[in-house]
Amino acid sequence: MMRKNRTDPINKSACSDVENFPVIADSCQPPKVGFVSLGCPKALVDSEQILTKLRAEGYLISPSYEGADLVVVNTCGFIDAAVEESLDAIGEALAENGKVIVTGCLGARKEIIHEAHPQVLAITGPHAADEVLQHVHAHLPQPHNPFTSLVPLQGIKLTPQHFAYLKISEGCNHSCTFCIIPSMRGPLVSRPVGDVLQEARNLAESGVRELLVISQDTSAYGVDLKYRTGFYEGRPVKTRLKELCAVLAEFGIWVRLHYVYPYPGVDDLLPLMAEGKILPYLDVPFQHASPRVLKAMKRPASAENNLERIKAWRTICPDITLRSTFIAGFPGETESEFEELLAFIEEARLDRVGCFAYSPVDGATANGLAGAVPDEVREERRRRLMDIQEDISAERLAAKIGREIKVLVDEVDEEGTIARSSADAPEIDGLVFINSYFNAKPGDFLSVKVIDADEHDLYAELVNT
């Protein structure tokens, strides 16, 4: 029952995603800005904030390079492949349009951009919406002062209408040796809890059915503010993930948590999941299982603690879905240490796993570690891990055959309805296919019965209600 053509990922390039934005009725055509958004969901939120400010000031958003007076490219610079993709995108925008402003994570390394593309108009670092607007003003006169009626209350979104990312903090206090994000985005800065909750409410009232809570380290939310008490609609709420999630649960929509470090405080979230208040889903980047490798990575927690914590989580919430990412071939990783990681994978029985062959990142301290693992060995280890995980994923999905589950519709195509369950985050996890059912639309919740599964996806039929 495998469907051959799976839907393409959303938001690879934002130039084609903004063509349905509202147009201002005006006798004089306002200037148009093209926009390309690359990178992770945190960068996507930055893009949404910039677009919202542009529309509030009366700029139009062009769906093509040709129709734009200038183009903003929001870049990623986390790994070498992302740097190359960003530089290629800048080059394409310059070739197609000629006037380009660069922002985002790669913008924190201006010399790389200047060397490849000296003709760009301006460069900013990440989460610099106001600075981007200043550069836009310098090259395209501001149509008028902002009026909130020009944009919807929830702002401009690059995601489909039925789900949205909710960024609760910026930056990170960790110093993982393979990562340069803190040097790009700075230390942890938590958003005021009242602001986060108001944004979430605006999104829910606009028709969003699923909120994906993100940050660089979601479980650290509020640490920098010492969990200060804030206010939402006159009621006190602590700036802490548990209290934030408890209020988000009141909006009656799916709430999904990403990038959650395995701190003991995460245990407090499990009752909310077991009670159905937030989705029973955790995206926890374990990265490895060998104590020595984790220490070399400067990652928190040990593999033994993580295995015990996973068991405790499943005791409290048996239906919890656990997603994680791992790095194979980290500098100095021995074959026996990699075998420790494989043993962890076998015992943990995680639902969703991504594994990356270690890639040196310019500026990361891990580059100076001894014992570089050859490229072919890194890739071979990555494949071995994913082969094992594929069997585990297939087994865990097969166990759902015969169960009735709730799904959120993403799309209806010529074959039927494409949806996601509580176990499936958009773009990174699997899908639920309801073949030959067409009486649905994106954002609908459906009750279905699982009738088949493979290593990635479920196949279901509608439950007659």
Beta bridge partners of 32: 60
Element (H, E) at 412: strand 404-413
179 labelled ligand-binding: yes
317 labelled ligand-binding: no
105 labelled ligand-binding: yes
Residue type, 141: P
Q: Of 61, 43, 81, which is closest to residue 362 (Cα–Cα)? A: 81
Alpha-carbon span 210 to 252, nearest angstrom: 9
3-class SS of residue 355: strand
Alpha-carbon span 82 to 32, nearest angstrom: 27
CB atoms within 10 A of CB 156: 21
Contact 433, 457 (CB under 8 A): yes
Beta bridge partners of 459: 433, 452
- What the block records as the tokens of 449 is 């019965």
- What the block records as the tokens of 229 is 């008490």
Residue type, 23: V
176 labelled ligand-binding: yes
Q: Which DSSP symbol is given to 56?
A: H
Contact 81, 70 (CB under 8 A): no
3-class SS of residue 301: coil
40 labelled ligand-binding: yes
Q: Which DSSP symbol is given to 27?
A: S
28 labelled ligand-binding: no
Element (H, E) at 321: strand 321-328
Alpha-carbon span 336 to 248, nearest angstrom: 44
Contact 397, 453 (CB under 8 A): yes
Residue appearing with tokens 């990623």: 76
3-state helix, strand, coil in the chain (%, to 5): 35, 20, 40
Interhelix angle 129-139/41-56, rounded to 10 degrees, is: 50
DSSP per position, 88-144: HHHHHHHHHTS-EEEEEGGGGSHHHHHHH-TT-SEE--SS-HHHHHHHHHHHS---S
Residue appearing with tokens 């990575």: 297
Q: Annotated binding residues for [4Fe-4S] cluster, as ranges?
A: 40, 76, 105, 172, 176, 179
Q: Annotated binding residues, as ranges?
A: 40, 76, 105, 172, 176, 179
